Structure 1
Amino acid sequence: MSSIRQVQITFDCAEPERLARFWSQVLGYTADADSAADPEGVGPRLYFQRVPEGKIVKNRVHIDVRVGTGMVGAERLAALEAECARLVALGAVRERLLPADEENESCIVMRDIEDNEFCLD
């Protein structure tokens, strides 16, 4: 039996090169035409595949961009808001803040430049 050592996440999209550049800027990855890769080789490679149909419904899988790890309360919210502002400048759209509750810390739901949902966590 073999062990899986690498994972690639594939996005169906209209403009692979543009989406690869966007996610490279979000994650600090290196863009290569239709893909984005972690320069340190730790994170998964992202591949952007052109498809003819547009996005119709909510994603079944999404990326959590972990900017508030280990933080709580006002410190966490400040980190999330600062990153949100940076990503909005790159073309992302802020959808809504999910405030902390008894089980989860706050996060911000966003959309990338092709309307794919992701969270700032």
Structure 2
Amino acid sequence: MASIKQFQVTFDCAEPERVARFWCEVLGYAAPPPEGFATWDDFDRSRPPGHQGPAFASCADPSGVGPRLFFQRVPEGKVAKNRLHLDVRVGTGLVGEERLATLEAECTRLVALGAVRVRLLTADDDNESCIVMQDIEGNEFCLD
């Protein structure tokens, strides 16, 4: 059986371009236009009337290490908690007050981008602290 070497994470959303820009800022990703187009606007203009407007967008890790993120417009809104979420790993290897300070600094940066802080989960016997957040369309993620 062949092993999978690549995967992408797909977000259903109302405003794909806006959500893609948010995640590019969070992760330091880039949003190159589809192959053969200089910009996303050029791509959009190439689509038939009635199908213009960003129905999807994507962003990728410039280093090629992280997964591609794909954002597609869907008509329905978010109605329940995510069954899958991203952990944004900013505190890896840090513990205690140093970890909390790093998480809080990143939380402040992301709130300025439009994220919402939900709650701080403090360290216990099994886990270090993390901050539960939501992106600009309410998708949960953790600063870990």
Query: Structure 2: any 5+ residue segments left out of the alignment?
Result: 33-39, 41-56
Provide the rounded CA distance (Å) in 2 between the counterparts of 1:112 and 1:12.
12
Instruction: Compute the RMSD of aligned alpha carbons.
Output: 0.8
Paired residue for 1:47? 70
Paired residue for 1:73? 96
> Is 1:82 matched with 2:93?
no
Scaled by the length of structure 1, what TM-score is found? 0.98
Q: Which structure has more strand as a fraction of its residues? A: 1
Paired residue for 1:112? 135
Please state how far the C-alpha of 1:3 moved relative to its aligned partner: 2.3
Paired residue for 1:7? 7
> Is 1:37 matched with 2:60?
yes
Q: CA offsets, 1:63-84, max 9 Å, x none? A: 0000000000000000000000
Q: Give the letter aligned to residue 88 of structure 2.
A: V
| Percentage of matched positions with identical amino acids | 77
Scaled by the length of structure 2, what TM-score is found? 0.82
Provide the rounded CA distance (Å) in 2 between the counterparts of 1:61 and 1:97.
19
Aligned length: 121
Instruction: State which structure, 1 or 2, has the greater radius of gyration over its C-alpha atoms.
Output: 2
> Is 1:94 matched with 2:117?
yes
